[in-house]
Amino acid sequence: MAATPMIAAIRGTHDILPGDVEKWQYVERVARESCERYGYVEIRTPIIEREELFAKGTGESTDIVQKEMYAFTDKGGERVTLRPEATPSMVRAYIAHNLEHAMPAAKLYAMGPMFRYERPQKGRYRQFHQLDVEVFGMENPAVDAEVIDLAWTLVTQLGIAQAELVINSVGCPACRPVFQAALLAALGDNLGRLCGDCQRRSATNPLRIYDCKVPADQPIIDGLPHSVDYLCEPCATHFVGVKTHLDAIGIAWRQSHRLVRGLDYYVRTTFEVLGQALGAQNALLGGGRYDGLVKQLGGGDRAGIGFAAGLERLVLALPESAPVAPPAPAFVVAIGDEGRAAAWLLVRELRQAGLAAQMELEAKGVRAQMKRADRLATRVTLIVGGDELARGEVTLRDMATGEQRAIARESVVTAVRDLL
């Protein structure tokens, strides 16, 4: 008889199994602790939103909106989509709940899955996860520097070596049109020699020609003007301020005129942290300032800045030495039926006291139980039964030293806590 065919997971999605999930928990823990140390509070928004939120927020001209959204009509006839990024949702929530007034200078973070219909490869998936960090209502370049500091600190706290911070300024609605005009003028007749995507970008968002990866286009792109040479006075001063603050806290940066980022809402500062050993998908995180976005989505005239870090990429870039494993549990070995009954109570008592403890629930011999303790790499084994049980004692074995001693039943919790 043929076996029932298995139903495969959707391309570009992944199960995160025990053995890997500990790395995820570690990255999430460090991310959460870092954000909270910098004064950010968590916010959780739905993973499904109205399609127009991203058309308006992320931008009609972006690859995300044009090609990558998991958008569909729901049973009520509404156009909805799985979120491809977090920022528009954060802005929507900020406006909808009047946080503009409740938290005029809001520092928010969120973590969760995002969905983009991209071509899957190492470091690029269709369901992936981001840590998203946003600050609303603050314009000072010190804020840009603090956000970048948090991003950089997160990467270094995780022990990811050889990372590089890249920054740029893309100007504002006052100076960008001048730069765009200069860009198109410099392109001139060469525009026709660029790839189809670039030709399309030249009409919708010419800056994004700098995103092009097509090798044949590069000699032409290398000769184009740079946004930093066209900044208006306030944007130029802001950018100098950001760099001065970064220098003051000793965070090294490299300026790249090509860092325009794939989203439409950025103004002034853009930044990325690049990692080694990730191959083509080497951006660990990216972000920037988006001062016009809150207003554009129906809120007040509030500044905004943030970044998103790819959790898959942080997990991939973790060093071998990262302390990801949770402490091994205490293991309780039972001798005979009487021992099993007493062991069961002891395991529960340890757990109630906040300690990880396990025992073999199937009735098995002492040798089999000891083997299981070895497999768990347990630090401490407690042997319950026999004469010790009658005397109100338990045998405690320190698995690191092999030392074994009898201790009073009532001091077990303290003794285990001291060892773990």
**Binding interface with ligand AMP (CB under 6 A):** 85, 116, 118, 123-125, 128, 130, 262, 283-286, 308-310, 312-313
Burial class (CB in 10 A: 0-12, 13-18, 19+), 270: buried
Question: For residue 1, what is the DSSP state?
Answer: -
The residue among 111 and 380 lying less far from ligand AMP, judged by its C-beta, is: 111
Q: What is the rounded CA–CA span in Å between residue 182 and residue 171?
A: 14
For residues 273 and 287, what is the distance between their CA atoms, to the nearest angstrom? 9
- Smallest gap from residue 310 Cβ to ligand AMP (A): 2
Nearest distance from C-beta of residue 215 to ligand AMP, angstroms: 22
Closer by beta carbon to ligand AMP, 89 or else 378:
89
The residue with its CB nearest to ligand AMP is: 310
Nearest to ligand AMP of 297, 315 (CB atom): 315
Q: Work out how close the CB of 88 gets to ligand AMP at its nearest, in angstroms, rounded to a whole number.
A: 11
Closest distance to ligand AMP from the beta carbon of 190 (Å)? 28
Q: Which CB sits closer to ligand AMP, 165 or 332?
A: 165
Least distance (Å) between residue 180 CB and ligand AMP: 21
Residue 26 vs 115, nearer CB to ligand AMP: 115
Nearest to 167 by CA among 186, 187, 149, 140: 149
The nearer residue to ligand AMP, 88 or 171, going by C-beta atoms, is 88
Query: Closest approach of Cβ 282 to ligand AMP, in Å?
Result: 9
Q: Which of 352, 196, 170 is nearest to 262 (CA)?
A: 170
**Selection from 373, 371, 383, 380 nearest residue 338 by Cα:** 383
What are the residues whose beta carbons fall under 8 Å from the beta carbon of 13, sequence distance 6 or more?
125, 126, 127
Cα-based distances in Å from 94 to 12, 17, 147, 251: 31, 35, 18, 30
Q: Which residues contact 126 (CB under 8 A, 6 or more apart)?
A: 10, 11, 12, 13, 115, 116, 117, 118, 120
Strands of the sheet containing 106-115, edge to edge, are: 41-42, 106-115, 127-136, 304-310, 283-289, 267-274, 164-169, 254-255
Of 206 and 310, the one with the shorter C-beta distance to ligand AMP is: 310
CB of 116 to ligand AMP, least distance (A): 5
| Interatomic CA distance for residues 105 and 302, integer angstroms | 9
Q: To the nearest whole angstrom, how small is the minimum distance from the Cβ of residue 281 to ligand AMP?
A: 7
Residue (13 or 237) nearer to ligand AMP, CB: 13
261: left (phi over 0), alpha (psi -120 to 50) or beta: left
